[in-house]
Structure formats: C-alpha cells, structure tokens
C-alpha cells in the first residue's frame, strides 16, 4: 500500500518538538567533547558535541504496521543538531526519490523554509538528498538517506550566514551501521 504524502508529513520527523526544544536551548548545557551517539537500535551513529535528548514516536494507526520515529536533539548554542530515523513497515510502498522529495518538502513546510541548494546523491550505497534551506531566522543543512524502509535524517540549524564548521562536521559524521 502506498502511504499518502499528507500521512507521511505527520510521520517522518516531528519538527514542532524540535523547535520547542530549541526555544529552551539556552538552559541546556553541552560540552565541547564531540563523541559518537548511536541510536538505541544500533542502526546509525553520528558525532555530537554533547548528549542529545532522545524521543520515540510510534504511529500504530496503519493496518500495514507501526511507523516508528526516533529523534535525537541537541542544542549547542547557537546551533541545533537533530538526527532521526523513521522505520516504515515493508508493506508500505516508498519509491526512493518520491520519498526523499516528500520528506524534504515536509521538512521545509514545517520550518517555513525554502530550498536554496540541493544535491541528489548516494550515501553508503543508498539514495540521498543533501540540501540547505532558509527561513527568516535560520539556515538548515539537511541530509536525508533512504535505505529500504528506513529514512535517516541529519539536520544542523544555525543562524543565517556562513555554515559553522561544527554543522558540517555533524552532517558529515552520519554513519549507517545496520541500514
């Protein structure tokens, strides 16, 4: 069964949660000791300058099975780092490029941003989109990778201007362990 784009909009990544976390970010302390953070199921790892908050969302409203999204959010002022993985049931059709386009568009809709650059590529042998978007306050550097029925996402958000080295370091550190 094919899942509609509007249904996927609710499932891939919960941006309102991330943005709410960013508003209280001033109180969150991070250290400058970058270390690998591995998701709870061991599917991916990514380097972060502190310990992120982890949230799991499970949508059981689909007859094909649950859709589970794990997010890892770290505010290291003035930057925000987000890593996520959404697992879809095998019975849901997810054409590679259609899914990546829908995820990119849904992300930009949530943060009210516009794409300023985009590169379609492969990442670890899987289809991916690496893009930058801007809204009035922030620039977002995002990498989304589709590996079978898992979608991985790394987003670094920073104030408008040149991308800080830490943001590039974060995006480039994504590793798929068990895609």
Q: Which two tokens stand for residue 131?
A: 């893009």
Q: CATH code at 124?
A: 3.40.1000.10
pLDDT at site 139:
97
Sign of CA dihedral 146, 150, 151, 154: negative
pLDDT at site 161:
87
Per the structure, how many domains does the chain have? Answer: 1
Q: Are 126 and 175 in contact (CB under 8 A)?
A: no
pLDDT at site 15:
52
Per-residue pLDDT of the chain (179 residues; tens, 9 = 90+): 444 433 443 444 445 445 544 544 444 444 468 999 999 889 999 999 999 999 999 999 989 999 999 999 999 989 999 999 999 999 998 999 999 999 999 999 999 999 999 999 999 999 999 999 999 999 999 999 999 999 999 999 999 889 999 999 999 999 999 98
Domain membership of residue 102 as a residue range: 5-176
Sequence-distant (≥ 6) Cβ neighbours of residue 97 within 8 angstroms: 120, 127
Instruction: Please tell me the number of Cα atoms within 13 Å of 65 on its side-chain side.
Output: 9
Pairwise CA distance, residues 14 & 9, whole Å: 9
Report H helices in 13-138.
15-23, 96-111
pLDDT at site 16:
46
């Amino acid at each position: 069964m094919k899942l509609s784009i509007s249904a996927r909009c609710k499932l891939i990544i919960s941006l309102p949660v991330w943005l709410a976390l960013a508003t209280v970010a001033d109180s969150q302390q991070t250290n400058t000791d970058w270390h690998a953070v591995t998701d709870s199921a061991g599917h991916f790892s990514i380097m972060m300058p502190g310990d992120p908050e982890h949230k799991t969302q499970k949508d059981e409203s689909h007859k094909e099975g649950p859709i589970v999204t794990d997010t890892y959010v770290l505010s290291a002022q003035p930057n925000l780092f987000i890593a996520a993985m959404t697992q879809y049931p095998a019975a849901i059709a997810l054409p590679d490029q259609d899914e990546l386009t829908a995820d990119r568009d849904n992300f930009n809709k949530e943060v009210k941003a516009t794409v300023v650059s985009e590169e379609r590529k492969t990442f670890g042998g899987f289809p991916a989109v690496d893009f930058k978007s801007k809204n009035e306050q922030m620039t977002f550097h995002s990498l989304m990778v589709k590996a079978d029925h898992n979608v991985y996402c790394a987003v670094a958000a920073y104030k408008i201007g040149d991308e800080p080295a830490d943001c590039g370091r974060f995006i480039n550190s994504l590793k798929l362990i068990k895609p």
